[in-house]
Amino acid sequence: MNTNIQEIKDLCIGFKSQKGEQISILRNITTNIRKGETVGIVGESGSGKSTLALAMMGYIKHGLFTTGGECLFKSKDLLSLNNKELEDIRGRKIAMIPQNAGQALTPNLKIGYQIEEALKLHTDFNKVEREKKISELLNQVRLPSPSIMALRYPHELSGGQQQRVAVAMALAGNPELLLLDEPTTGLDVTTQAHVLELLKDIAKETGTSMVYVSHDLGAIAQVCDRVIVMYAGEIVLEGPVRKILKEPIHPYTYGLLKSIPKLSLSGLPDSMPGSQPQPGNIGSGCSFYDRCNFSSDECKVKVPELEYLSDIDTSVRCFNHSELISKTSEQKITNDLKNKITIDEILDLKDVSISYAKQGIIDQFLNKVTDTNPTVKDINININKGETIALVGESGSGKSTILKSIAGLLKTKDGYIKFDKEKLLSGDLKKRNSEDLRSIQLIFQNPDESLNPNHTVEQILSQPLKLYFGLTGSKLKTSIAELLEKVRLGAFYMSRYPRQLSGGEKQRIAVARAFAARPDIILCDEVTSALDVSVQAAVLDLLQKLKEELGTTYVFVSHDLAVVKAISDRVAVLYQGRLCEIGPSKDVYQFPSHPYTEVLIGAVLEPDPDIRPKLVAEDIVEEKPPEIGCSFQGRCPRIIGDKCRNETPPWQIGDNGNAIRCHINIEELKIQQS
């Protein structure tokens, strides 16, 4: 019996370059999607995973064309069908769930109406049946009170709820194959864990086959039965999820897994050198040859074929896969942090609160305080010279807001920020002197936005050098070359524009620009979240090396608990702009901890199918912090009644040295959590 729902044979997709050369994006993809199974497609950006997923529904982006092979859905080649025939398949047989549901839903139509549209298109239900089905679908995606939800507009829902609606719409046509393109990438950790749980349940309930495209091996481990690993437009490894994630027999997958920071490990993950070759720039041998630690001479000249190993039901594209396991077991390196932390206090945040609310003219005149409930409140953090302190929390936790006010981009409402023990930092950028400005530098999340696209690397790096040190001429050039050297880039990068660099190289330039000022403190705002995992590991490694060399203090903001654990000495957990817990990172990750920290740690996805996230709290999103009581009262799984709602919880010091702000006695927390 043919159990394959989709068969892809020798698929090649490419484009024509400006010089007229044909350049391949996908090369000889052959794979099958079986009925009822969930297949994960993993790879770094540019590996062709999205192109493959789109080809699976017969869609090829403008400018690309197939250069060979076929994509059979139930023995019909999708790539040769005309639009009319494709319309019958898309939505009814194959449905797609987009990455950003907030953008995929029409903003000015109600949720119910949008689902009904999908039903009208894909089913023959009458009006009454449709309404019934809408409730059913909303119920199926675990949205509370479907009848009310159907009357809402997309902006009235949270990101997780929007993603659920997108799932409901995709399910409307009762599809046999569901394509999901990074469906949880933009979501908070707790929400992501809940959505993945939902997807898994739906796969079980409906028996739909799913193709799950993601760069996140943690998410793949949770939902998938089988995994396809892509590299430079080829399948390099394909097999059952346990086999792939626990005993990878391809060096790329091995390296990828090693470069993911994990809660169970201490210190920085190993990074993989180099970057993925660009399309059209692939050598004569194995595409991974340049970055491979296990290569032999054969790999340089000959392209390995995808070899099927029937005993473990795995396909692998590597000459040396049989020796890999024995070789990798020898490789054990620990990268523990060697930070020279002094007892000198460099930054002191005292009772800081920050408000985005603006006083009206009349209130200003009457000197009336309008915002009694500021976005960020009561922040007390002391930062010592040389340490890395991380601020963790979900979106809206105020972590970036605090960073901005340290940098002088936002005024504090109450409290003060002291630099170097005695210098009070002004909340107004214009009032800070050049020396204070130089001492505190920022690195941003997305290097595409933080580097001026019309400047060369030389111009970018010369800005701080000219501003703070007045360098010109050959001195300037030497300094730039030294900086590039520091971030492991050659001097020939000077004349390049940001668009000619890869994501990791761009972030290195951003790091170099921050270090150009020879700062004492560097504020890192989610600096690795826009990067691929292997690049992330390399950038973290670079940041750590530079710090060990120069003794810089980092304030590191991230939503990723595993990254934070890898790089920080101390962690501060924030919820709704209030501190929940603060302490040495090795202790914060151990119990007892604040219930919110517990929720966050529980939701972390490990790239291991046998470690399931613990979902302890609902993933509702709160718009505003509560006026009185504990900031986490709305979602706390361990709430003990009115005390939490009415009184601000006290600080308690655990035996490990972490401070927790909770009404529950710390000893009791320990018993409850163990």
Partner 1 sequence: MENSKNTFHENPKSSLEKVLDIISTMASKPSGFIGLAILIFHVALAITSPWFAPYDYKAINPTLMLNAPSSEFWFGTDSLGRDVFTRTILGGRTALTITFFGSIIALLWGGLLGIFCGLVGGRIDDVVMRIVDAFLSIPWILAMLLIVSLLGTTTQVLIPALGFFYGKGIVRVARAATHDVIAKDFIISAKARGHSNLSIIWNEILPNVRDAILVEGAMRWSWMLLGFSSLSFLGFGVSPPTPDWGLMISNARGLMSFAWWAVIAPIVGLSSLIIGINLTADAFAKALGIDRSTKAPV
Residues at the site binding partner 1, with contacts judged by CB under 8 A: 15, 17-18, 23, 25, 46, 51, 61-64, 278-279, 281, 407-409, 429, 432, 434, 437-438, 441-442, 444-446, 449-456, 459, 463-464, 467-468, 495-497, 499-500, 513, 517
Q: Are 541 and 569 in contact (CB under 8 A)?
A: no
Q: How far is the CB of 45 from partner 1 (least distance, A)?
A: 10
Which of residues 44 and 116 has its CB atom nearest to partner 1 in the complex?
44
Query: 10: closest CA among 90, 83, 79, 95?
Result: 79
Which of residues 46 and 304 has its CB atom nearest to partner 1 in the complex?
46
Q: How far is the CB of 109 from partner 1 (least distance, A)?
A: 21
Which of residues 455 and 488 has its CB atom nearest to partner 1 in the complex?
455
CA distances from 502 to 45, 295, 304, 481 (A): 10, 24, 26, 19
Which of residues 280 and 657 has its CB atom nearest to partner 1 in the complex?
280
Which of residues 61 and 614 has its CB atom nearest to partner 1 in the complex?
61
Q: Are 505 and 489 in contact (CB under 8 A)?
A: yes
Q: How far is the CB of 83 from partner 1 (least distance, A)?
A: 13
CA 496, CA 489: separation in Å to the nearest integer? Answer: 12
Q: How far is the CB of 309 from partner 1 (least distance, A)?
A: 32
Q: How far is the CB of 62 from partner 1 (least distance, A)?
A: 6
Q: How far is the CB of 367 from partner 1 (least distance, A)?
A: 21
Q: How far is the CB of 406 from partner 1 (least distance, A)?
A: 10
CA 232, CA 47: separation in Å to the nearest integer? Answer: 5
Segment holding 167, helix H or strand E: helix 159-172
User: At 628, which amino acid appears?
Assistant: I
Tokens of 484: 């590039």
Residues 6+ apart with CB under 8 A from 444: 450, 510, 525, 527
Which of residues 445 and 576 has its CB atom nearest to partner 1 in the complex?
445
- Alpha-carbon dihedral of residues 458, 278, 273, 489, nearest 10 degrees? -10
Q: How far is the CB of 524 from partner 1 (least distance, A)?
A: 13
Q: How far is the CB of 232 from partner 1 (least distance, A)?
A: 11
Which of residues 344 and 449 has its CB atom nearest to partner 1 in the complex?
449
Q: How far is the CB of 313 from partner 1 (least distance, A)?
A: 31
Strands in 63-102 per DSSP E: 65-73, 76-77, 94-97
- Alpha-carbon dihedral of residues 503, 508, 513, 515, nearest 10 degrees? 150
Q: How far is the CB of 511 from partner 1 (least distance, A)?
A: 12
Q: Are 385 and 346 in contact (CB under 8 A)?
A: yes
Query: 417: closest CA among 474, 496, 345?
Result: 345
Which of residues 373 and 463 has its CB atom nearest to partner 1 in the complex?
463
Which of residues 176 and 182 has its CB atom nearest to partner 1 in the complex?
182
Q: Are 73 and 94 in contact (CB under 8 A)?
A: yes
Region for residue 250 given its phi and psi (left: phi exceeds 0; alpha: psi -120 to 50; beta: otherwise): beta
CA 517, CA 467: separation in Å to the nearest integer? Answer: 9
Q: How far is the CB of 55 from partner 1 (least distance, A)?
A: 11
Query: 208: closest CA among 47, 332, 35?
Result: 35
Q: How far is the CB of 452 from partner 1 (least distance, A)?
A: 5
Q: Quick check: bond before 592 cis, omega within 30?
A: yes
What is the widest separation between alpha-carbon atoms in the chain? Answer: 81
Which of residues 419 and 575 has its CB atom nearest to partner 1 in the complex?
419
CA 377, CA 579: separation in Å to the nearest integer? Answer: 8
Rg of the Cα trace of the chain? 27
User: At 449, which amino acid appears?
Assistant: E
Which of residues 98 and 240 has its CB atom nearest to partner 1 in the complex?
98
Bridging pattern class, strands 345-354 and 440-443: unpaired
CA 603, CA 597: separation in Å to the nearest integer? Answer: 10
Segment holding 187, helix H or strand E: none
Q: How far is the CB of 590 from partner 1 (least distance, A)?
A: 36
Query: 579: closest CA among 380, 417, 346?
Result: 380
Which of residues 167 and 487 has its CB atom nearest to partner 1 in the complex?
487
CA 197, CA 182: separation in Å to the nearest integer? Answer: 15
Which of residues 114 and 445 has its CB atom nearest to partner 1 in the complex?
445
Q: Are 454 and 499 in contact (CB under 8 A)?
A: no
Bridging pattern class, strands 76-77 and 65-73: antiparallel
Q: Are 41 and 236 in contact (CB under 8 A)?
A: no
Which of residues 144 and 280 has its CB atom nearest to partner 1 in the complex?
280
Q: How far is the CB of 63 from partner 1 (least distance, A)?
A: 5
Rounded (5°) CA angle 210-211-214: 130
- 26, β-bridge pairs: 13
| Residue tagged 């009032």 (tokens) | 431
Q: Are 247 and 237 in contact (CB under 8 A)?
A: no
Which of residues 428 and 610 has its CB atom nearest to partner 1 in the complex?
428
Which of residues 429 and 620 has its CB atom nearest to partner 1 in the complex?
429
Q: How far is the CB of 541 from partner 1 (least distance, A)?
A: 23
CA 212, CA 224: separation in Å to the nearest integer? Answer: 8
